[in-house]
Amino acid sequence: MNSELKSFAKIFITGCLWGSIGLFVKLMEDRGSSPSYTSFLRLLFGALFLAVLTLIFDGPKAFRIGRKTLLSCVLLGVVCQGIFNILYSTSVSMNGMSVGSVLLYSAPIFTSVASVLLFREKLNSLKWIALLLNVAGCTLTATGGDFSASSIAPVGILVGVGAGFTYGMTAVIGKIAMREEASPFAVATYNLLFGCVFIAIARRPWRTVGQPFNARLLLFGLLFGLIATALAYAFYFSGLSKISQASKVPVVASVEPVIATVIGAAVFSERVTAVKIVGIGLVLLSILMFSGKTENNKRK
């Protein structure tokens, strides 16, 4: 397996880990957490775990990064963590979970456009077909084709598209951050740390819950920070550093709604309809189209 395919495997693992986000959000919500406090604990514990991983694997010197990389980390934290979490939670509140999820999965389109402008990537017909299949698959997987319970407002759509844009910029800004051969663990640590600080200043999330130091709430926050955050971003930035085309990253990571659907069925007895199965198939097909193209390019 060549190095880029290994990197895509890491992004795929990231998507699988992100697929558990809904589980942790639900568990914390049931213990009285608010969206902003859940996001705050996730980023806080995730940053702490990643700081430890950085010290273990790369040593203290890894935290010394260049100014350009540091600026990229600030943008990652503020835009792709802080602003994204605020926009996405607002989108779900205004539009409902289904529409909020669909608008979020517009991210690959924004990543592709930004990659053309910044990295001069080429969008051929195969890539456009894969993108369309990916967006359609994510839509069907997230909604089951049912939008009837959602109340869609123009402002809500704008907020949801903003969430998709900020999420899509993770691969773009992250690609810039990794140009100086910085430690993936250090970049991930700074990313979460700056996001945590932004949410703390903008929302003061501990004031949005009745018992911010509830033991079970903190335990689930700790697990959220470890599994779906620290480990996920460790794989993400490690894989991103070896991928030539940033536009492919969010498509490969879009296995997330597939895993979320499986967890929903297994843990919460959610119904998996034929439409969702079709959506899962389209998502996996789009991922195979991208990884297959990478392999073919290596052979030429």
Domain count, the chain: 1
| Cα pseudo-dihedral 141, 90, 44, 56, rounded to 10 | 40
Measured at the CA of 251, the angle between CA 112 and CA 270, to 5 degrees, comes to: 140
DSSP sequence for 24-78: HHHHHHHTT--HHHHHHHHHHHHHHHHHHHHHHHT-GGGG---HHHHHHHHHIII
Q: What is the DSSP letter of 180?
A: G
pLDDT the model gives residue 150: 53
- For the beta carbon of residue 210, count every other beta carbon within 10 angstroms: 8
Kindly list the distances between the CA atom of residue 60 and the CA atoms of 43, 188, 241, 256, in Å, as whole numbers in the listed order: 21, 15, 20, 33
Give 271's contacts (C-beta < 8 A, 6+ positions apart).
Answer: 144, 265
> Which ranges in the chain belong to alpha helices (H)?
3-18, 21-30, 35-57, 67-75, 84-95, 97-104, 107-119, 125-143, 154-177, 184-203, 215-225, 232-240, 249-252, 256-268, 274-299
pLDDT in tens, the chain (300 residues): 578 889 999 999 999 999 999 899 889 989 999 999 999 999 999 999 999 999 999 999 999 999 999 999 999 999 999 999 889 888 877 877 667 777 888 899 999 999 999 998 887 888 889 999 999 999 888 888 776 655 567 788 899 899 999 999 999 999 999 888 899 999 999 999 999 999 999 999 999 999 999 999 999 999 999 999 999 999 999 999 888 889 999 999 999 999 999 998 898 888 889 999 999 999 999 998 877 654 444 434
Place of tokens 């402008």: 117
pLDDT the model gives residue 1: 58
pLDDT the model gives residue 2: 79
Query: CA-to-CA distance for 300 and 298, rounded, in angstroms?
Result: 6
pLDDT the model gives residue 242: 86
Query: CA-to-CA distance for 99 and 287, rounded, in angstroms?
Result: 22
Query: CA-to-CA distance for 25 and 226, rounded, in angstroms?
Result: 14
Burial class (CB in 10 A: 0-12, 13-18, 19+), 154: exposed
Closest CA to 138 of 24, 247, 252: 252
pLDDT the model gives residue 299: 39
Q: Give me the domain span that covers residue 253.
A: 3-299
pLDDT the model gives residue 34: 92
Tokens of residue 165, six digits: 């844009």
Please check whether residue 30 is in contact with residue 241, taking contact to mean a CB–CB distance below 8 angstroms. Answer: no
Q: What is the DSSP letter of 247?
A: G
